A and B are shown apart, each in its own frame.
Chain A
Amino acid sequence: MTESNESLIHVADLHKVFITEEVETHALAGVHLSIAQGEYVSIAGPSGCGKSTLMAILGLLDSPTEGGYWLAGEPVADLSASQRARIRNREVGFIFQSFNLIGDLTVFENVELPLTYRGMSSAERKKRALGALERVGMSHRTKHYPAQLSGGQQQRVAVARAVVGSPSIVLADEPTGNLDSANSEAVMSLLGELHREGATICMVTHDPRYARHAQRTVHLFDGRIVEEEEAVRKQQETAELKQSGFDVA
């Protein structure tokens, strides 16, 4: 199967089936999605709709059962584990809901980690890691361990780690899920800033307040995309609802 597309990410008729003890669960059932270079897309939907599964496949952490996946025009659905690891390292930046910092490593070492798998020189790694930490306002905590930081600070470090390798796309899976509203807003504004600087972002969220930060929202339900909406339209609707006295939070 070949696919010629100008999108950074393009998936076509993507299926993912989990089989556990004679039970088949169709996590994804024919998803078609394209994300253009520099676009900020949010994926929304209720729990169990397949958001995280889609994210894992987009991040090459998992393979689809069926369907095609092109990253920057190259088919990546059937790569070997080693090739996928290489692409993950160079093209994808992850931000997880639970931060997923390594407790044994300092803030600096956590941010530096993806670069060590590239065989980059120590001096270059240091320069880029400190730059990324500067960018998220955490350069004063380089020697701290994750357990010594607040949740918001940990997620900022996770953002720095996601962008330190200048990936093609940043995948954020519920980045505010473990944060209070103040820290959530701070992380969202950080992502907005990254986007304005040219980053392509794909974010999973079930919170409409944060989904609206994206240019486009894709709604998933039972493993299928049921609706796509322009953020601008959604923002207008939200504004109208607020004016009518409804709380959308």
Chain B
Amino acid sequence: MTTLWQDVRYALRMLAKNPGFAVVVVLILAVAIGANTAVFSVVNAVMVRPLPYKDSHELVWIRQSGIDHTEKFRYRPNFLYLREHNNVFESVAGYRGNRLYVQGIEAPHQVTALDVTANTFSLLGGQPIQGRGFGPEDEKPESPRVVVVSHAFWRDHLGADPNAIGRNLNLTSLKGNGDQGFGLESGAHTIVGVMPPGFSFPFGRVVQFWRAMVFVEGPTEYFDSIVIPLARLKKGITPERASADLAVLASRLRPTEPADAAPNVVEVYRFLDGLVRHHRRLPLLLLGAAGFVLLTACANVANLFLARANVRQREMAMRMALGAGRGRLVRQMLTESLLLSLAAGVLGLVLTFCSVKGLVALCPADIPRLQETNVDLRVLGFTFGVSLLTGLLFGLVPAWRASDIGVNETLKQGTGRTTGTRRWRRLHDGLVVSQLGLSLVLLIGAALLIRTLVALQTVDLGFQPQNLLAVGFDLPWAKYLETEQCDNFFKPLLERIQMLPSVRSVGAYDGIGLFSSPDAGGRDFTIAGSTGPGQLRSARWMAVTPGFFDAMGVRRLAGRAFDDRDSDAIVIDETLACECFPDSDPLGQTFVTDDSSGRKVHTIVGVVDTIRSFAAPGPVMGTVYTRGTEYWQRAAVLLRTDGDPMRLAPAIRKIVAQLEKDQVIKTIEPMEATLSEMLVHRRFVMILLGIFAGVALALATIGIYALLQYSATRRTHDIGIRMALGAREQDILAAVLGQGIRLALIGVVAGLVGAVALTRILASLLYGVTPTDPLTLMVVSFVLIAAALLASYLPARRAASVDPMVALRHE
């Protein structure tokens, strides 16, 4: 302990003697540690921090999929079998989504709700702050219907009434109705509990009501028989073990259809994994990029330490002569590097505090728990760990090298001008090459994303997104179950919007999804006249109003749009036309559908351009547009305007309020904003990679400058000898520049190898450019070499202007 304190005191004294060196090292490392800590704080919030449920690591989802993609355990009888017969779960609960129309409050409206099994709250470890949760008796059909409300609903719609427990609300919900499709079920429900603020289940979703699920004996409608299972693992049981056990259980279930007899794959995965499974790549990608910056900084600082260690060889030799062992010297030097890295860690933490809000603001908003990003104990621990690791990374090699000296020779030669020169230089060169290689990988990643964004700007979307407003609706089932009811809302709505000043055209579509994608769900059909296997085709079917194409600004390629005569007419897009009629005119051809709604024949009257989006700018599934003769509960209205479409938003809200008091506007957004949001992931990665690449490039450039400057200073004597032997200024200039370019070229080769291996991670974000795009690789390599050349020029100039006499005297 005493010797450690001695080491610390001596290290502080040495650093105080050379404050410039210490400050430079701390600043370089602080930037790198700060970048890593900031990114980790996001990773921590999104992927590491436990979910706010009791022992949340034990909570799992259960998925089961056979080749027919059925979810057997979501079928109520199977769910009950699973609950009774499994050996791996402490408890199994279930839920299904619902939307309830709430009456009995000041402003009746539709809310998002869940029907849950009685044990759901206890399984999650969530307790109401008022009243109670559900008990087994609440699941019985003869029991009164009960609900637990969210804190937000209690506060906003019940006035935070302390006597809310026991209050009755009339709730209307959708239920299966046999061949009639869907029906409504209405009845009084008693509030039995209020959940605490911040409680949400499923995590991150805004649910206002949890209603006790009622289990009725006997056959039920499919709609009512869906139960999504969740469970708590028994102690010591892993999800993998549970998956294996459930696979056996699944094989015992009675197949409902022949296809169900196929082998099943059961997947049991933790809540947190389920939450982040689609968002894992982005934070990890950025953490990797920040790691590259840290490695670059470590290589940079290691070079500085190496240079310093070389200068201190005589001191080390003297210490060894006085009896210090090699381990003692390594420890002494490591103490200095660790002190600096810890100081950098503190400064990096300050930088994180300053930058983390900006980082979160830049992040795509759809990443779950992003807003929970902060600096907690785990982040502090990460910073401390990274600081220690950093200190070891950049300190160990120089310390080891510095202590590997011949005592006698070094003491005789002073600073040891010739001892181990080549070995030191190789190490210096290697560190600079690694910096250049790492920064090249980051630069290539950023450049590929820049090229992607540029390429996306030139994508032919097939429609005009400018001055186009999309208004999405979600009409309450309770009031708009029948199409006639929907018509009564939408028809006057469109007529009134059309009359607004500056509105040029108005259209609507069925609201299921405006943009197609390669894997969009399709509806089967055949081309009339074609027979035999393989003639069954699939396309996306979309019901639109006749004004849809004008409002969207979709180019008409052939035929016409819909008119009032059309009942069976369809318009297809270019993708489907090319796919189905590569050598013939699609106009007048017919498609035949034969499904649960009966056999229908549809005649093609027009072909329009394929509508694409930035989310799926490449090949997409073909689309069939049918003429919507009736409106739908979730329709979306599109209007093309003169000038900024958002100026019309207040007028539209007013019209909607006149037609329906409920809050039925789901979204109101200019199409350009919708498209821009599709680029947010790419833009975010590009910005951060750009920042990291810039920092890494700056470090690498400083690194090559410092190395050449140091090398030229150390080799002043050699330069003098060369000049004495006839070397001209330009010979020396060329030699130093050559050294810089040689390092840059090796760095480029190393970086290219790394980039080819690593940029594949970016593949899903790229468009119009491959991860190994030769032009990008070439241009970025050229930029790096140019930067290296620039960084080499100043030391080369200085070396070339050395006076040979002065240089020969230099030792």
Q: Which residues of A contact B (CB under 8 A)?
A: 56, 59, 61-62, 81-82, 85-86, 88-90, 94, 96, 100-104, 113-114, 117-118, 145-147, 161, 165
Contact = CB atoms under 8 A, between A and B. Distances in A.
20 contacts: A61-B804, A61-B805, A61-B808, A82-B728, A85-B728, A89-B725, A89-B726, A90-B726, A94-B725, A100-B717, A100-B724, A102-B718, A103-B417, A103-B418, A103-B421, A103-B718, A117-B731, A118-B726, A147-B419, A161-B725
A90 B725 CA distance: 9
A100 B726 contact: no
Contact of A114 (B725, B729, B804, B805): B725
A88 B418 contact: no
A146 B722 contact: no
A117 B725 contact: yes
Contacts of B419: 147
Contacts of B724: 59, 61, 88, 94, 100
Contacts of A147: 418-419
Interface string B765-808: 00000000000000000000000000000000000000011001
B717 to A, nearest CB: 8
B716 to A, nearest CB: 12
Interface in B720-741: 721-731
Contacts of B804: 61
B422 interface: yes
B482 to A, nearest CB: 90
Contacts of A114: 725-726
A117 B422 contact: no
Given A100-B717, A118-B726, 7 more contacts: A85-B726, A88-B726, A100-B724, A103-B422, A104-B422, A117-B726, A117-B731
A102 B721 contact: yes
B721 A85 contact: no
Interface in B407-422: 417-419, 421-422
Interface residues of B, number: 22
Given A61-B808, A100-B808, A113 B421 contact: no
Of A86, A90, A103, A145, the most chain B CB neighbours within 10 A belong to A103
Contacts of B718: 102-104
A94 B425 CA distance: 27
A62 B807 CA distance: 12
B310 to A, nearest CB: 13
A117 B421 contact: no
A86 B718 CA distance: 18
Contacts of B727: 85, 89, 117
Contacts of B721: 100-102
Contacts, number: 66
Nearest to A57: B805
A86 B421 contact: no
Contacts of A118: 726
Contact of A113 (B717, B725, B728, B808): B725
A61 B802 CA distance: 12
A104 B421 contact: yes
Contacts of B728: 81-82, 85-86, 117
B726 A62 contact: no
B805 A88 contact: no
Contacts of A56: 805
Nearest to B420: A147
Nearest to B418: A103
Nearest to A103: B418
B418 A82 contact: no
Given A59-B724, A61-B724, A104-B421, A82 B805 contact: no
**Which 4 residue pairs across A and B have the least CB separation, nearest first?**
A89-B726, A103-B418, A85-B728, A114-B725
Contacts of A89: 725-727
Nearest to B722: A113
A103 B715 CA distance: 10
Contacts of B722: 102, 113, 117
Interface in B643-660: none
A145 to B, nearest CB: 8
A25 to B, nearest CB: 14
A103 B727 CA distance: 17
A81 B729 contact: yes
A120 to B, nearest CB: 12
A146 B805 contact: no
B805 to A, nearest CB: 5
A64 to B, nearest CB: 13
Nearest to A117: B726
A20 to B, nearest CB: 13
B809 to A, nearest CB: 10
Contacts of A96: 808
B504 to A, nearest CB: 76
Nearest to A53: B805
A87 B805 CA distance: 16
B208 to A, nearest CB: 76
A103 B417 CA distance: 8
A85 B730 CA distance: 11
Interface in B690-748: 717-718, 721-731
Contacts of B808: 61, 96, 100
B417 A86 contact: no
Nearest to A89: B726
A113 B723 CA distance: 11
Of A59, A104, A118, the most chain B CB neighbours within 10 A belong to A104
Nearest to B719: A102
A104 B725 contact: no
A85 B422 contact: no
A90 B717 CA distance: 21
A161 B723 CA distance: 14
Of A61, A145, A146, the most chain B CB neighbours within 10 A belong to A61
A95 to B, nearest CB: 11
B808 to A, nearest CB: 7
B666 to A, nearest CB: 73
Of A85, A86, A117, A145, the most chain B CB neighbours within 10 A belong to A85
A53 to B, nearest CB: 9
Interface string B394-438: 000000000000000000000001110110010000000000000
Nearest to A114: B725
A113 B721 CA distance: 10
A88 B421 contact: no
Nearest to A59: B724
A147 B417 CA distance: 10
A146 B418 contact: yes
A111 to B, nearest CB: 10
A96 B724 CA distance: 11
Contacts of B425: 104
B726 A86 contact: yes
Of B421, B721, B723, the most chain A CB neighbours within 10 A belong to B721
B417 to A, nearest CB: 7
B725 A62 contact: no
A230 to B, nearest CB: 31
Contacts of B731: 85, 117
A89 B731 CA distance: 12
Contacts of A90: 726
B230 to A, nearest CB: 68
A89 B419 CA distance: 28
A125 to B, nearest CB: 13
Contacts of A104: 421-422, 425, 718
A88 to B, nearest CB: 5
Nearest to A158: B721
B415 to A, nearest CB: 13
Nearest to A88: B726
B413 to A, nearest CB: 10
